[in-house]
Amino acid sequence: MSGTAQPHRWIDRERLGYAEICAAVADPIQKRGPGRAWVIAFLGALPFVLATLAAIGAVLTLGIGLSGVNTTVVWGFSIANYVWWIGIGNAGTLISSMLLLTRQHWRASINRFAEAMTLFAAAIAGIFPIIHLGRPLYAYWLAPYPNTMDLWPQWRSALVWDFWAILSYLLFSLIFWFTGLLPDLATMRDRAETRIGRRFYGALALGWRGSARHWALYESFHKAMAALAVPLVCSVHSIVGLDFAASLMPGWQESIFPPYFVVGAMYSGFAMVVVLAITIRWGLNLQALITPAHFDAMAKVMLFASIVMTFSYATEWFMGWYGGDHADRSVIAYFFTGDYRWLYYSLLFCNCLVPQALWFARVRLNLWALALIAVVINLGMWLERILIVWNTLSHGHAVSLWRTYHVSVYDVVILIAPLGLFAFGFLVLARIFPIVSIHEVSQIAHDEGAAAAGVPKGGVA
C-alpha cells in the first residue's frame, strides 16, 4: 500500500489502454500462477473455514446452549452476526446499482468485487438464523411448501420475513453479478490459451459475441436490474430493522429503525469495500485501475453515513426522553450506566468520532489511515448490532428478568471464523473470475481519453 497520493482520476490513462487493462485484470488469472501472498493468505484462511464448519456442526448437534444465551437474553452473537453480515451484503449491490443509475464513473473499478462481497456476505448471513433455531432441522418450514397437513408459515413472524428477504436478495444479487460479468467472461474466453480455459469461460459467457444487439440488450437489462436493486436493498435491511421495531420491547419499538438500519448497512458495507479495495489493489498491482480518487469518494460516503448515524443515535436518545415512558427512559440510561456501558462508549467512539478524521483530504488519501478507520467502523457497527440485542433484552419491562449475557468460547469462534470463510471465498474468486470489470473500466478510460483530446462523448478520437 502506498501512503498519501495526489492524483484525482478514475483511470491512469498514461499507463493503460484497452490491451493494458485486459492484461492487468486477466493475466493474474490466466498467465501467472498464485503468488506467495495469495498462497499464504489461502493457507491462513483454511483453519477459519474448518472452524466455521466445526462450529456449525457443534451447534446443530449439541444445541444453542453452547452460546451464552439465557432465558432472558435469548438472542446473542448469532443474531448480531446475522444483522452485521446482511448489512455488509446490502452495501455491495447498493454501491453497484445506485452508482450506476446516478452515472458515477468511479464505480467501474470497485463494483465487481463489491457485488461479489454481497454474495459471500449474504450467504454467510443466512447461516446464522438457521443455527440459532432451537430445532434447525425444521428450518424448511419457513418456506410455503405444499404438504398433507396444510402447514404454512406464520406470516406475522419476523423469521419468515428474514427468510424471504435473504433468499430473494441472494438470488437477485447472483443474477446481477453474473450478468454484469458476461462481457468479461467472453474476454477471458478469447484470451484463454488452453482448451479447458476456452471451454470453461466460453460456457459461462453464454455465447456473448459483443454485437450491437448484445450490447443493447445488456445495457437495458443491467439498468433495469439496477433500478430494481435499490428498492430491494432498502426493503431487505428495513425488514431486518422491523425484526426489532415490530416488537413491544423498550428501545426497539421505534419507527426510525428501518431507515437507520439501511444507512448502517451502507456505512459498514462501504467500510468493508474500502478494506477489500486496498487489499486487492495491493495484491494484484491494480494501482492504475483503483486510484486515490476512488478512496477519496468512498471516504466521503463513509463520512456522510457517520453523520447520519450520529444523528440517529441522538434521535434515539431524544425520543426515549421525550416519549416519557419509564421503560424507554430506563433503557436509554442503561446504555450509558449499565453493564455494557464501556462497549457503548466504544461504539460511539468508533462510529461517530473516529470517522470525523475523514473531513481532511490527507486522511482520505492515506491508505493506511483509511484502512484503519474502515476496520474501526466495522468494529463499531458490530458493537452496535450486539448492543441493540443485549441492552434491550437485559433491561426489559420485567425487572425480575434483568440478566446479562455471558460470552462463551463458541460465541467467539462463530464471530471470528466466518471472517476467514469470507476471505477464503474471495481468494478463490480472485483466481477464477476478473475481480475488476474490464469492459466498464475500458469505457471509462476511453471516455476520459476522448474528453482530454476534446472529442465529444461517443465520438472517435
Check pLDDT > 90 for residue 236.
no
Give the pLDDT confidence score for residue 49 in this predicted structure.
94
**146, part of any domain:** no
pTM: 0.88
All cell numbers assigned to 445: 478510460
Buried b (16+ CB within 10 A) or exposed e, 238-250: bbbbbbbbeeebb
Q: Read off the pLDDT of residues 449-459 as tens digits, 9 standing for 90 and up.
A: 555 555 555 54
> What pLDDT, on the 0 to 100 scale, is given for residue 91?
78
Q: What Cα–Cα distance (Å) separates residue 145 from each residue in 20, 47, 132, 255, 423?
A: 52, 37, 22, 33, 35
CA atoms in the 13 A half-sphere facing the CB of 335: 25
Whether the predicted pLDDT of 30 surpasses 90? no
Mean of all residue pLDDT scores within the chain: 85
Where residue 305 falls among pLDDT bands split at 50, 70, 90?
very high
Quote the pLDDT of residue 440.
84
Report yes or no: 407 and 68 within 8 Å, Cβ to Cβ.
Answer: yes
What whole-number distance in Å separates Cα of residue 54 and Cα of residue 411? 13
252, 83 Cβ separation under 8 angstroms: no
Q: Which residues contact 252 (CB under 8 A, 6 or more apart)?
A: 244, 245, 388, 392
Q: Is residue 439 part of a domain?
A: yes
Range with the lowest mean pLDDT among 31-40, 133-142, 412-421, 452-461?
452-461
- Residue 87 forms part of a structural domain: yes
- Closest to 70 measured CA to CA, from 343, 330, 396, 341: 396
Specify if 455 maps to a domain: no
CATH number, domain at 128? 1.20.1630.10
**Average of per-residue pLDDT across 26-49:** 86
pLDDT digits (tens, 9 = 90+) for 410-433: 999 999 999 999 999 989 998 899
HEC readout, the chain: CCCCCCCCCCCCCCCCCHHHHHHHHHHHHHCCCCCHHHHHHHHHHHHHHHHHHHHHHHHHHHCHHHCCCCCCCCCCHHHHHHHHHHHHHHHHHHHHHHHHHCCCHHHHHCHHHHHHHHHHHHHHHHHHHHHHCCCHHHHHHHCCCCCCCCCCCCCCCHHHHHHHHHHHHHHHHHHHHHHHHHHHHHHHHHHCCCHHHHHHHHHHHCCCCCCHHHHHHHHHHHHHHHHHHHHHHHHHHHHHHHHHHCCCCCCCCCCCHHHHHHHHHHHHHHHHHHHHHHHHHHHCCCCCCCCHHHHHHHHHHHHHHHHHHHHHHHHHHHHHHHCCCHHHHHHHHHHHHCCCHHHHHHHHHHHHHHHHHHHCHHHHCCHHHHHHHHHHHHHHHHHHHHHHHHHHHHCCCCHHHCCCCCCCHHHHHHHHHHHHHHHHHHHHHHCCCCCCCHHHHHHHHHHHHHHHCCCCCCCCC
Domain that holds residue 22: 16-136+152-449
The structural domain count of the chain equals: 1
Higher per-residue confidence, 460 vs 17: 17
Q: Would residue 75 count as lying in a domain?
A: yes
